[in-house]
Every structure is written in structure tokens, then in C-alpha cells.
A = this chain, B = another copy of it.
Amino acid sequence: MREVAALAGVSLKTVSRVVNREPGVSPDVTARVERAVTQLGYRHNLAASNLRRGHGRSAMVGALLQDVSNSFSASLLRSLEDAARDRDVAIVASSLDEEPARERSLVEGLVRRRVDGLLLMPATERHDYLADDLRSGLPIVFVDRRPNGVDTDSVTVDNAGGSRMAVDHLLAHGHRRIAFLGDLPTIQTARTRHEGFLAALRDAGVESDPAVEATSLRSPDDAIAALTLLLDSANPPTAVFAARNSLAIGAIRALHHRGVAGQVALVGFDDFPLADIVDPPLTVVKQNVAMIGFEVAKRLFARIDGDTSAPQHVVLTPELVVRGSGEIRPEQ
């Protein structure tokens, strides 16, 4: 910048004015400065600029997702990006992989980078560690899971209600022996979905059987193994509720391997691309990801713009999408 000023024969401050398009610079000088800028290949340094401006803003927000390569996280990221674009805010994205330690160190890193806000799909159980940052004014919006130990905005879906929809649907189609495939019970959403599953059975007067419930399943392969075991058991389930999309995918594979793809009913939680053209087309409880992303972005940027109202907890209702796999009736 000093060089630009020298070359254009003006002061530093004037260059600053031109670069920031501040009013009150003669066209003549503006042109001279701009020529010098391109000639020297000068690049404005945003970090230094923001430092001096003092407002402590970086024009960046952090997005801490579970896994940017999974469709749910990726779609969320995209929604946030679309909202951030108009404001020239950049997004720093990272994957947590359900590892609490990683969450904490990534949050730390983002705070050091002075992000203006944080989208957090937490891997931790308790969030007290964020209290300091929240108090100092860092906007944090939780997504998919609610904050615990601190109070800040969140956007979640009604997981228990979603499970209930799935189970009620299977019950309505005559099933009484419904397998449950779920993720780690330490994960809030996984736990709630399991509870919803059990509650729906109880309310219908159907006895649940832990023998057809598998939890702590982390991957499609885990789901394949678990479901295959159940199918091979003496008293196999006639229907399956897979409480996460990757587990539904594993379930589909397992059903295919065992050659019972059209005979055992299956409902998944969480839609995914192509769920309508797998064989048979998958009935799912769908979370409206675009809507979630929209709400999250809305909250986050409202906070960044100075909204200091009480924390809001938006809970969206998922929707049952009927496609075929969930309407298979039990044999005989």
C-alpha cells in the first residue's frame, strides 16, 4: 500500500479511500491510484483492515458439521453459504465425526480466527464450555441437536415425533415385530429417536423386544451386520425402522443380500438423494434440510446483526414420505 501511494504520488490515506470506495476523492486521483494498484498487483489485506477497524469482525462464519461429505451436512452447508453470499461472508467448514475433542479444538480455532458466528452441530454432550464465548457476544446457533448447559439459538426437528410417524405407519400396515436400527445412544438425536420408537409401540399396546433392537451402529456396514443377524434369527422382524439415513442404506443392502428386499418393510429416518429409485423405493421420515438451513442462517445472521432477544428454539416437524418400502405388509 505504501508503494501504491508512492507510485500514485498520494498519501496512504488516499489509497485507503480509493480501495474502500469512500466518497470524497477526485476522479483524477482515483484513476491514478487504481492504475498504480493494478500495475503493482496490490491486494488489499482484509485482516489488517479488520484489525484496525476495531469492530473485531472477520466477515467469516464457522460451520461445524458432522461430516461435510454426508448429504445432510453438505446441504446444510450449502444453505448457509447461499445466505452468506449476499453479505460477502466466507464460511469456514469442518467435520466433527462425533468426536467431542475435535469439536472443542475446532471451536477454539474459530474463536482465535474471530469468526462472526458459529453454526454448530455438536458432537459433545454438554456445552458449558461455550459459556464464555457466548457471554462475550459470539453468536452460536445449534442445529440438529439442542444446547445443553448453555442457552443459545437452536434449530432441530421433532425426532421423537418423526420416529412415531414411522412406527405408526408400520403398525398400520399390520406389523407387530419391528426391528430398530440406531446410532450411538450418546448422540442426542439417536437417543430421542429410539425413545420415540419405544413410545409409539407402547402407545399401540405392542410389546417391544430388545432382541430386535440394535444400537451403536455407526456405518452402513454396521447396519448390514446387525440386520443380517436379525433376519437369520429364529423370530425375524417383519419390518425395520432405520433411524438414520446411512443405516437405512445398510438395511437396504442387507435385505438385498438376504433376498427379502420386497418382503420385509423398511422405513428410514432422514431422506437422501435417490431414495426414490432404490429397490424398492424407500419410505422415509423426511427432514426438510433446506428449511433447517434457512432457519439456521436466519437466526445466525440476525444475531450477527445485533439481535439480542432471548434464545429461540425452532423445532421443525418432519414429514412421512411414502414410496413403497414402508407399505409392504407382513407375510401370510
Give the interface of A toward B (CB within 8 A).
Answer: 41, 43-48, 50-51, 58, 60, 67-71, 74-75, 77-78, 81, 88, 90-95, 109-114, 132-133, 135-136, 249, 252-253, 256, 272-274, 276-279
- What separation, in Å, do the CA atoms of A278 and B58 have in the docked complex? 45
- In the complex formed, the residue of B with least CB distance to A72 is B69
Cα–Cα, bound, A91→B51 (Å): 21
Which of B43, B70, B91, B111 has a CB less than 8 Å from the CB of A93?
B91
Judging by beta carbons under 8 Å apart, are A47 and B43 in contact?
Answer: no
Q: Are B60 and A92 in contact (CB under 8 A)?
A: yes
7 nearest interchain CB pairs? A279-B279, A69-B78, A47-B47, A74-B74, A46-B112, A41-B132, A69-B74
**In contact, A74 and B68 (Cβ under 8 angstroms):** yes
Name A277's contact: one of B41, B94, B278 (CB within 8 Å): B278
Report the minimum CB–CB distance from A255 to chain B (whole Å).
10
Residue from the list B90, B94, B252, B273 in contact with A94, Cβ < 8 A? B90
**Is A78 within 8 A of B67, CB to CB?**
yes
Shortest distance between the CB of A83 and any CB in chain B (Å): 13
- Please indicate the chain B residues that have their CB under 8 angstroms from the CB of A68 in the complex: 68, 74, 77-78, 81, 93
User: How far, in angstroms, from A1 to B290 measured CA to CA in the complex?
Assistant: 41
Identify A77's interface contact among B93, B132, B135, B256, CB under 8 A: B93
| Contact across chains for A95 and B112 when beta carbons are under 8 A apart | no
5 contacts between A and B (CB under 8 A): A41-B136, A46-B112, A47-B47, A68-B78, A90-B94
| Most chain B CB within a 10 A radius of its CB, from A43, A44, A88, A252 | A43
The chain B residue with its CB closest to the CB of A279 is B279
